[in-house]
Amino acid sequence: MFDVLSMARGDNADDSDREYRFVTIEYGLSPNATQTRKLEETLSVCGSAYNFLLAECKADAIMGIRQRKYGELTSLLPGMKASDSMYKAPYSQCLLDVCKRVERAMSGCDWNEDGDPEHLPRFKSRHRYHSFTYPSDQGFEFVGDRLRLKKIGDVKFLHRYFPKDGKPRTCTIRRNARGKWKAFVTFRVPMIVRNEEFIECPRVPEGYDLGLGDIVTDTNGVKFRNPNLYAEKRDEIARLQKKMQSCEKGSPGWERARRRLAAIHEDIHNQRKGRLNQQAHEMVQGHSVIVVERLSPKNMKEKADNPAVVRDRYTDASWGMLLSMVRRKAEGAGVVVVEVDPRNTSRTCSQCGHVKEALPLWQRTYRCHECGLVMDRDRNAAINILGSGMRSLREAVNGQPD
């Protein structure tokens, strides 16, 4: 749950956390032939630098030396530039970001009881290294309808939206599966702060239950169906994967199948992102407080007893993506988001509070034998989620239980 109390009071102990939020906007790029060549060169050099630095870290790990810190990695860059002039081509800040990526990759390395490394990160081929970053606003700026990138040029961009009072902070340039270039620019924008009266007595609160068949159900029983985008392409994906296995890696046939497979996954991602973005907008619009479940989608998806079809439905539901969109839109609209424990929300009667011992998933209607309530189980859960969230919210504002 957000720190509702400090948001309500407008505390500003930490400038970056309390007064500002960060919004990332995607811009399509239309580089010319020269700019495309420079973009590809920068991406290739950054990928090579990543593999070189990762090789140094992995060699240290195998010898029993713990991972190098960011400052130690940056100290290797002058020697790399002196030994190979290609490392002078990218903007220097882009190479510093490569050092951060290597540090993050090595931070996930596990160490066994003997002190030996386990699960070392993989090297990235040209098919797996897709982006480079300008980590500060000194490396890029907007000039009219162009995005000026240091050592690349003024690249025309297609999307003209800018957040109100937003200041650009970082810019990540990414090449997608179809070879198109996009810029993801992060802006710092002012945080909208609500007072305590607004939070304690919200005008329009709403609670949402999340599921697989119906991704979202609100307290009025309105549902948003799971589109099952992945299921529609499952046969074609399996065919292309089989073709890649039958072809020699790197051959023309293997490359064509790889490109087509990557394009399919990108289409599914874009369609899913668009639908969830619309749903998140509808969830936030017109509400002052919204309550959702605190879930761990990854752990739920990776349960050992889940068949492949069920895991695909978790992927299509994409609760993590939906909730992140809801949080971002809520911040922009000054809406408070409360996350509650989902335990027993489906088995509890929203009218009398009776808790059933069991409620199988195939039972889609909740029937209470104590008070006689008959209601759709997801709507019943949404009402319980809303009630739990409002109690937590009042406790946070008042400083004591209801």
Task: Check if the beta carbon of residue 212 is closer than 8 Å to that of residue 313.
Answer: yes
Digit-coded pLDDT (tens) for 5-57: 333 333 333 444 457 888 888 999 999 999 999 999 999 999 999 999 999 98
Average pLDDT of span 86-106: 92
Report d(CA 156, CA 61) in Å as an integer: 44
Q: Which helix (H) or strand (E) holds 53?
A: helix 33-62
Q: Based on the number of CB atoms within 10 Å of its own CB, is 218 exposed (0-12), middle (13-18) or buried (19 or more)?
A: buried
**Would you report the helix, strand and coil content of the chain in percent, each value rounded to 5?**
45, 20, 35
Q: Report which of residues 195 and 279 the model is more confident about.
A: 279
Report the chain's mean pLDDT, rounded to a whole number: 83
Half-sphere exposure of 293 (CA within 13 A, CB side): 23
Q: How high is the pLDDT of residue 250? A: 81
Report d(CA 376, CA 4) in Å as an integer: 31
Q: What band does 289 get if pLDDT is binned at 50, 70 and 90?
A: confident
Q: In the structure, how many helices (H) and strands (E) does the chain have?
A: 14, 16
The residues, ordered by sequence, that sit 6+ positions from 132 with a Cβ below 8 Å of its Cβ are 42, 43, 46, 90, 94, 97, 98, 172, 173
- Of 139, 136, 146, 145, which Cα lies nearest the Cα of 188? 136
Q: How high is the pLDDT of residue 196? A: 47
- Of 67, 329, 21, 367, which Cα lies nearest the Cα of 186? 21
Digit-coded pLDDT (tens) for 64-81: 777 788 888 999 999 999
Q: Based on the number of CB atoms within 10 Å of its own CB, is 323 exposed (0-12), middle (13-18) or buried (19 or more)?
A: buried
Q: How high is the pLDDT of residue 401? A: 59
Q: Is the pTM of this model over 0.95?
A: no
Count other Cβ atoms within 10 Å, centred on residue 198. Answer: 16
Task: Check if the beta carbon of residue 335 is closer than 8 Å to that of residue 284.
Answer: yes
Q: Report which of residues 164 and 35 the model is more confident about.
A: 35
Q: Report which of residues 312 and 273 the model is more confident about.
A: 273
Q: How high is the pLDDT of residue 44? A: 94
Report d(CA 267, CA 273) in Å as an integer: 10
Q: What band does 194 get if pLDDT is binned at 50, 70 and 90?
A: low
Count other Cβ atoms within 10 Å, centred on residue 247. Answer: 16
Pairing of strands 20-30, 153-157: antiparallel
Q: Highest mean pLDDT: which of 130-134, 192-196, 229-233?
A: 130-134
Report d(CA 154, CA 142) in Å as an integer: 9
Among 92-106, 179-193, 383-397, name the one with the lowest average pLDDT.
383-397
Q: Is residue 159 over pLDDT 90?
A: no
Report d(CA 272, CA 266) in Å as an integer: 10
